[in-house]
Structure 1
Amino acid sequence: MSLGEITNIIQRYPLLTEVLNSVHDIVLILDSERDIVYFNKKFEEFADNFNLKAQLGVKPGTAFNCIHALDERVECGDTSFCRYCGANKSITESKKGVKSLNECRIAAMHGHAFNLSVSASPLELEGQKLTLYSIIDISAESRRQMLEKIFFHDVNNIVNGMGMIIDMMTDSKNSNDIEEFEHSLDMLKITMTSLKNEINAQHIVSLAEKDELMVHPENVSINKIIKEVVGFIQTTMCNSSVEIDTVLAEPEPLLYTDPVLLKRVLLNTLKNACEASSAGEKVSIGYRNIKDHVLIYVNNPTVMSDKVKSSVFKRSFSTKGQGRGIGTYSMRMLIDRYLKGKIYFTSEEGEGTTFFIKLSVSSQDLL
């Protein structure tokens, strides 16, 4: 049955559409091909706020601008990533006549990400088997909980480290070991720098989440930024047994961007690469000049599983445990939304995992 015929059936039930338009949840009705044949006013408002597609005849992933539904060769529900999607699971269960409730994380275009609670129920109207699809946006609550967990977790670790260093300084002072005292003092300075970095990082992400982050672009040396990032990681974060190889291009382009935000993204990217690597392995960071763009890359030898690859850039996903998933999400938000660039990755056997950051050298993109 055509889209028009199914929408005509739904319109013959004005009480149903009146009720669906009166609820505070997003409600969609899908046909047997998973296409949207009805959406309520709440979805129209939500779509308008986030530049989504409030259209009939499209799949839910397309409507929500899911990055995995952008490939025109495949449809929402058919990609390799869809097998791990909670929304897709709900639809599949509904088509079997089973009511379901799942959580869905969507990485969308323009740096947006959604945490959704999705329920699906079978619905039959005049012999047509449909799916009643109810969606609650839980992004704000998930975001608040995650930021709190990350901040307190990281700060607590650093403060505990500072306490241990102070104890070492006390012992060396009591034993008049000046050399050990000075070494502990240097370690304390490094730890305090890490604490300051964590606080600044959380502040930047918090402002970006609320669309209150100001961009301050200037002409910057990409070589200088990479060297500073590598130096900071080697001093404060990275396992000393992991080698960092720096590859700088010639000639060096003059990059017009916000150095603070770019450095924040590169710190996250390089830190993740180091943490994913084992002792004796090599992590590479560098860039290539491509016409009027700079392509920065960070590579590590570890290959992601398909399940991990499907969740990269989603707000609450992390390989580090519950409540630790903001690294790649914040990287994408800052690059896409604020630096007007693109970030993507590849992860293949024999090549490892590489994150790419593509930025324009032109000032026009940030004006």
Structure 2
Amino acid sequence: MDTYFAPPERVSVEELEIEIEIVSKNPVMSGLLYSINGLIAILDEHRQIVALNDSFLKMLGIADPSEALGLRHGEALQCIHADDEPAGCCTTKFCSSCGAAIAIVSSMEQNKPSEKICALSANRGDKITDMALLVKSHPINVDKRRFLLIFLQDITLQQQMAALERTFFHDVNNMLSMLLGASELLVAEDPSKLAKTIHQASLRLHREIAIQQCLIQSETCNYRPMRHEITPEKILAELKAFFVNHPVARKKSIEVREGYTDILINTDFSLLSRVLCNMTINALEATEVNGVVKIWIEHEDKNLIFCVWNAQEIPQETAIRIFQRNFSTKEQAGRGIGTFSMKLFGEVILGGQVSFTTSKNEGTIFRFSHPI
């Protein structure tokens, strides 16, 4: 049986029943299940559930524990990818980047505790719910058999608040970085020209506050875009100016290919700029010192397609989750919101489409197709 990550094998029904009996009759394991608050499960060496506490059952919406016994964690939690492969949870192409799967397998292989954050997309009735779970896996031996104690904590709200707080200050700092750079140049250049730049930055900062409010209420976002007509030439000029003194662009170059000067696009410039800035920041962060990021526009039917290229390939395990909320390749709390916001603002509010392609030979291109 094939697997993309962990061994696919499972124990027989008879062996599973023996393991369940061993755990259920052990006073230490029973005491843990009934005395510790939170979501707790006990897995065997094949990552199958042999016991779980009432809190976990309640969270799963299961009254009879036997319905969960023998399942793997993703199957019990109704992960949307749990059935992608015949062998189930921990064997799909998504599992190599799953925090829960990594913590469990790492803990088993290294025989020591492991803790990871799991970005879970789970089926809940007729909709998909995004959750963030802190997963702690701890090996334990019972009757000369090894089991795993799994502690789950729902940190969805904490992750969202941390992400929003980080995003807010991050974006404000982006604005301030531009203002600071412009103010330093005021000493050496014509103040009237740079004053206009500062004024534009101040206006964008004002709009940014409204955009952040939309992020806080992303599930029920009622942000009303303020649309006006603007030329692609103006959009690219503003984008290029934004990164002139931006720290992420230091010792890197941005090549902007201009075109379609005779076309007008009806858009909310603040939101469009937010999408394009995130695309460009991602490209710059992936680019090495002295490297180049290329930006251009394509015209297709009734859409303008904004393209941002960099030479690096996105790893497959990252690419398949890149727009998922709460998922990030960085460890700090509050990550996993930038590419999600591109989808929220670009598709939900502006009515466009955000996509990307990536390969070793061609690099990575993020595209935002916006109706004219």
Q: TM-score, normalised by structure 1?
A: 0.65
**Could you tell me whether the CA contact under 8 Å between 2:305 and 2:368 is conserved in 1?**
yes
Identify the residue that residue 213 of structure 1 maps to in structure 2.
Answer: 221
How has the CA–CA distance of structure 1 residues 168 and 233 changed in structure 2, closer, same or farther, with 3 Å as cutoff? closer
- 8 Å contact 1:283–1:299 — kept in the other structure? yes
Aligned to 1:151: 168
**Residues 320 and 39 (structure 1), Cα distance of their counterparts in 2 relative to 1, 3 Å cut:** closer
Distance 1:232 1:276, change over 3 A: farther
Match among 274, 278, 283 for residue 273 of structure 1:
283
Shift of the alpha carbon at 1:288?
6.3
Alpha-carbon deviation of 1:180? 0.6
Partner of 1:130 in structure 2?
Answer: 147
Q: Contact 1:242–1:283 (CA<8 Å) still a contact in 2? A: yes
SS, match of residue 108 in structure 1: strand
Could you tell me how far 1:88 is from its partner in structure 2? 2.7
| SS of corresponding position for 2:190 | helix
The match for 2:295 among 274, 280, 283 is 283
For 2:109 and 2:236, how far apart are their aligned partners in 1?
A: 53
Corresponding residue number in structure 1 for 2:359: 348
Q: Deviations over 1:220-274 (max 9, x none)?
A: 99x97988764542342476942345899xxxxxx9x999877754553354335
Shift of 1:353: 1.8
Partner of 1:116: 134
User: Is 1:5 the counterpart of 2:53 in the alignment?
Assistant: no
Deviations 1:67-111 (A, max 9, x none): 765643674434566455443343224435834131223252647
Q: Using the alignment, how far apart are the partners of 2:354 and 2:307 within structure 1?
A: 11
**What residue in structure 2 maps to residue 196 of structure 1?**
206
Q: By how many angstroms is 1:352 displaced?
A: 1.7
What pairs up with 1:61-72 in 2 under 5 angstroms? 61-64=74-77, 69=82, 71-72=84-85
Kept after mapping to 1: 8 A contact 2:24/2:30: no
Of all paired residues, the percent bearing the same amino acid is 26
Distance 1:45 1:340, change over 3 A: farther
Q: Secondary structure at the match of 1:102?
A: strand
Partner of 1:90: 103
Shift of 1:188: 0.8
SS of the residue 1:112 aligns to? strand
Distance 1:88 1:162, change over 3 A: same
Indicate the SS of the match to 1:27: strand
Residue of structure 1 equivalent to 2:311: 302
**Does the C-alpha gap of structure 1 residues 166 and 216 become closer, same or farther in structure 2, counting only changes over 3 Å?**
closer
Distance 1:29 1:161 in 2: 52
**Unpaired stretches in structure 2, ≥5 consecutive residues:** 1-11, 62-66, 123-127, 261-265
Letter in 2 for 1:349: K
Which stretch shifts more, 233-242 or 316-325?
316-325
Match of 2:196 among 186, 192, 196: 186
Per-residue displacement from partner, 1:97-128 (whole Å, max 9, x unpaired)? 83413122325264724151423333547x76
Residue 135 (structure 1) shift: 1.1
Change (3 A) 1:236 1:26: same
The structure 1 residue matched to 2:45, chosen from 14, 28, 32, is 32
8 A contact 2:118–2:134 mirrored in 1? yes
Letter in 1 for 2:100: A
Once the two structures are superposed, the pairs formed by residues 69-80 of structure 1 within 5 Å of their partners are: 69=82, 71-72=84-85, 75-79=88-92
C-alpha distance in 1 between matches for 2:74 and 2:112: 20
Question: Is contact 1:95–1:122 with CA below 8 Å preserved after alignment?
Answer: no
Shift of 1:196: 3.1
Go from structure 1 to structure 2 and tell me whether the alpha carbon gap of 1:152 and 1:23 turns closer, same or farther (over 3 Å shift). same
Match in the other structure for 2:338: 327
Note closer, same or farther for the CA distance 1:288–1:82 as it changes in structure 2 (3 Å cut). farther
RMSD: 5.1
Cα distance, 1:185 vs. partner? Answer: 1.0
Q: 1:75 to 1:337 in 2, by over 3 A?
A: farther
Question: Partner of 2:9 in structure 1?
Answer: none
Q: CA deviation at 1:18?
A: 8.0
Alpha carbons 1:242, 1:281 under 8 Å: kept = yes
Pairing 1:92-107 to 2, within 5 Å after superposition: 92-96=105-109, 98-106=111-119
For the Cα contact (< 8 Å) 1:299–1:352, is it kept in 2?
Answer: no
Q: Structure 1 residues 111-120 or 238-247, which shifts more?
A: 238-247
The 10-residue stretch of structure 1 (132-141 or 315-324) with the greater mean CA deviation from structure 2: 315-324
Q: Report the secondary structure of 2:217's partner residue.
A: helix
Structure having the higher helix fraction is 1
- 1:42 matched to 2:59? The reply is no
Q: Report the Cα offset of residue 348 of structure 1.
A: 1.1
The aligned runs of 1:231-242 (5 Å cut-off) are 232-237=238-243, 241-242=253-254
Task: Give the 3-state SS of the residue equivalent to 1:303 in structure 2.
Answer: coil
8 A contact 1:17–1:40 mirrored in 2: no
Which letter maps to 1:91? I
